[in-house]
Structure 1
Amino acid sequence: MRYLITGTAGFIGFHLARRLLEEGHSVTGFDGMTAYYNVRLKEARHAALAQFPAFKPFIGMLEDEKALAAAYDIEKPDVIVHLAAQAGVRYSLENPRAYFDANLSGTWNVLELARRAEIRHLMLASTSSVYGANPDIPFRESDRTDEPLTFYAASKKATEVMAHSYSHLHKIPTTAFRFFTVYGPWGRPDMALFKFVKGILDGSEIEIYGEGRMSRDFTYVDDLVDGIVRLSAVVPAEANRVQVPGVIDTLSHQAPFRVVNIGGGQPVGLLDFVETVEEVLGRPAKRRMLPMQKGDVPRTYASPDLLVALTGYKPETSLKDGVRAFVEWYLEARKDFLD
């Protein structure tokens, strides 16, 4: 298969591209190399992918429709996986315009490309943040997602509904997947695990928001990629509507469109998360307890039922194993391109 992946210099895009290349597929990688965090880390990801002859990188911004079209023309892929976005919940409070440009305008360009190309399957990333402070647990794809707490969450909800409209109007088979706190090697420096490991090793304080009372459904990145790859083979169509008792399929009645959680349904308290990091590192953290930050949600908790019904799979990697894999990577990587 031929894939076009947006965001291949990013955390998740890199891992997905590497997995597909290892399996013998060809990947055109599109990335803007923005300076939201250390560009050297992004360049190192692309350098690792460049070891595969079937990887063809293209540097460009999502907002540039002509650049996207040029990337598509390299190999005219069968599948588009749209992962590139302006990420970060807290940064959306500081610079919401970046989210409008990348997540709304950029996604519209991807949808236009998918319409013109008549691709087999469009897959795009959403987030558990669309559930907001949902009081019902676990979070099911059929739950209301009309109360986003940040512009980041609103922009990803908009991504879903924009894609649904294009799927209906132009019959584009589309799967939107909602990620739940993804972590692992090659992760983003603005995420909690990266900050905690760095802080503990440096002997500096780590900031624990919400007084540690929050919980997250952590998803190891290899598990997430496994979910995406499996879903790529389940193209939304009336013929594959789920008929499992107790599972509500989100396959639209108006379009070949479906939303799927990718999470294991095993939330972990923030203090338990910190203790796991301490255990793996073999040293205690200097903790600075802080109140809940604006835009934060108290918990995330995925229902994996639809993912299991569609693919027979759900994330299973233990938090300790995942944290250990990240630490092993971090200790090597910081000598090369993180410091």
Structure 2
Amino acid sequence: MTTLVTGNAGFIGFHVAKRLLERGDSVVGFDVVNDYYDPTIKEARLAILEETAARTGSAYTFLRANLADLAAVNEAFAEHRPERVIHLAAQAGVRYSLENPHAYVESNLVAFTNILEACRHHKVEHLTYASTSSVYGANTKMPFSEHEGVDHPLQFYAATKKANELMAHSYSHLYRLATTGLRFFTVYGPWGRPDMALFLFTKKTLAGEPIPVFNHGHHTRDFTYIDDIVEGVIRASDAIAQPNPEWNSDYPDPATSNAPYRLYNIGNNNPVKLSAYIEAIEDALGKKAIKDLLPLQPGDVPDTYADSSELEKAVGYKPATPVKEGVANFIDWYRNFYRV
């Protein structure tokens, strides 16, 4: 089995590629390694993937290229002939999309079009791709279900990821390309992104600097540990999307189709207040944070809460790592990686 993993220098892509190598799959990594955040951590992740391939004897190739470059994408597919694709590369970040929307057009729309075209022409058996809980936008019915419409995004990042789901469906319908979209809910854990709350709060608390606590810490997030995400991603990739024989065009279900198309939430199904998340960080660090209480940021969703029952039914897995355990694991990694 050869799997192309895009964004394999990134947080989730690194962990997915590592797990695939450890189970003996051949992995082709594809990442531009940009400087949206400090590339040092990305290079460290890449070094570990090389070490993992050497240790396990699994075949691993890394392509340092831009997914928005159609020629580079076509060359990768022609040379390596992946049977499956796990597309995790994207321009992430809710707040950054307010500052630089054009980066999201290139990374989330142009690049995804190139992936879809390459999967179509090279007869890939299954495309699994990252979506986000942010697509739920203005929805307030909890827990969020894939069977509800998501037509009111609150920022451009969410709009591009919703577009990815629509684009995937069109290719599933037109070309019978099996696609599965995974809506991630606030992923955290070792090797996490430096621009995310857990990383920032840890760094600032250790330095004795105040942490920005938006919405005065009252909003909730369905924090999902990285190992749970990886298990869900790989199981979803192994379960090739099939048409839903009960799909009814008079009452169209957004999560399925008469084409080989699926959408799943991957969340812990256990929302936690931001204030409690900060307490878990403080407990793991053995140090109190200095809190700068601020209003809700433009584009932020007040609460997220995943209904993960469809994922559990489809692949027999449900995320369950407690926040205290996951945060402690991150703090251990952070202290080791940065020697603090």
TM-score of the superposed pair, with normalisation by structure 1: 0.95
- The equivalent residue for 2:303 is 299
- The equivalent residue for 1:43 is 43
How far apart, CA to CA, are the structure 1 residues paired with 2:196 and 2:25?
Answer: 30
How far apart, CA to CA, are the structure 1 residues paired with 2:327 and 2:244?
Answer: 40
- The equivalent residue for 1:76 is 81
Q: Does the CA contact (< 8 Å) of 2:189 and 2:327 recur in 1?
A: yes
- The equivalent residue for 1:31 is 31
- The equivalent residue for 1:270 is 274
Residue of structure 1 aligned with 2:182, choices 177, 181, 184:
177
| Pairs aligned (count) | 330
Q: Does the CA contact (< 8 Å) of 1:7 and 1:30 recur in 2?
A: yes
Query: Deviation per CA, 1:68-113, whole angstroms, max 9, x where unpaired?
Result: 1222234211100111000000000000000001100110000000
Compare 315-324 and 48-57 and name the one that shifted more: 48-57
How far apart, CA to CA, are the structure 2 residues paired with 1:134 and 1:239?
Answer: 25
How far apart, CA to CA, are the structure 1 residues paired with 2:254 and 2:111?
Answer: 28
How far apart, CA to CA, are the structure 2 residues paired with 1:47 and 1:202?
Answer: 28
Compute the displacement of 1:238 (Å): 3.4
How far apart, CA to CA, are the structure 2 residues paired with 1:16 and 1:5?
Answer: 8
Query: Deviation per CA, 1:219-242, whole angstroms, max 9, x where unpaired?
Result: 000000000111112111137979
Instruction: Supply the RMSD in Å over aligned alpha carbons.
Output: 1.5
Compute the displacement of 1:4 (Å): 0.2
How far apart, CA to CA, are the structure 1 residues paired with 2:46 and 2:72?
Answer: 18
- The equivalent residue for 1:245 is none
Q: Does the CA contact (< 8 Å) of 2:5 and 2:29 recur in 1?
A: yes
How far apart, CA to CA, are the structure 2 residues paired with 1:123 and 1:31?
Answer: 17
How far apart, CA to CA, are the structure 2 residues paired with 1:250 and 1:144?
Answer: 9
- The equivalent residue for 1:59 is 64
Residue of structure 1 aligned with 2:337, choices 326, 333, 337:
333
**Residue identity matched to 2:267:** G
Q: In the TM superposition, what are the counterparts of 1:97-116 in structure 2 within 5 Å?
A: 97-116=102-121
| SS at 1:35 equivalent | coil
Q: In the TM superposition, what are the counterparts of 1:1-339 in structure 2 within 5 Å?
A: 1-51=1-51, 52-53=53-54, 54-238=59-243, 250-253=255-258, 255-335=259-339
Compute the displacement of 1:143 (Å): 1.2
Q: Does the CA contact (< 8 Å) of 1:213 and 1:269 recur in 2?
A: yes
Extract structure 1 runs of 4+ deviating beyond 3 A. 238-242
Query: Deviation per CA, 1:19-38, whole angstroms, max 9, x where unpaired?
Result: 00000001000001111000
| SS at 1:313 equivalent | coil
| SS at 1:265 equivalent | coil
**Residue identity matched to 1:319:** V
How far apart, CA to CA, are the structure 2 residues paired with 1:240 and 1:79?
Answer: 24
Query: Deviation per CA, 1:132-166, whole angstroms, max 9, x where unpaired?
Result: 03110000001111000000000000011001101
Runs of 5+ consecutive residues of structure 2 not aligned to the other structure = 248-252
Percent of residue pairs bearing the same amino acid type? 50
Seen in structure 2, the aligned counterparts of structure 1 residues 130 and 263 have a Cα distance that, compared at 3 Å, is same
Runs of 5+ consecutive residues of structure 1 not aligned to the other structure = 243-247
How far apart, CA to CA, are the structure 1 residues paired with 2:199 and 2:246?
Answer: 39
**Residue identity matched to 1:125:** A
How far apart, CA to CA, are the structure 2 residues paired with 1:134 and 1:279?
Answer: 33
Q: Does the CA contact (< 8 Å) of 1:133 and 1:299 recur in 2?
A: no
Q: Does the CA contact (< 8 Å) of 1:133 and 1:298 recur in 2?
A: no
How far apart, CA to CA, are the structure 2 residues paired with 1:330 and 1:165?
Answer: 42
| SS at 1:333 equivalent | helix
**Residue identity matched to 1:316:** A
Compute the displacement of 1:249 (Å): 8.7
| SS at 2:287 equivalent | coil
Compute the displacement of 1:313 (Å): 1.1
| SS at 1:223 equivalent | helix
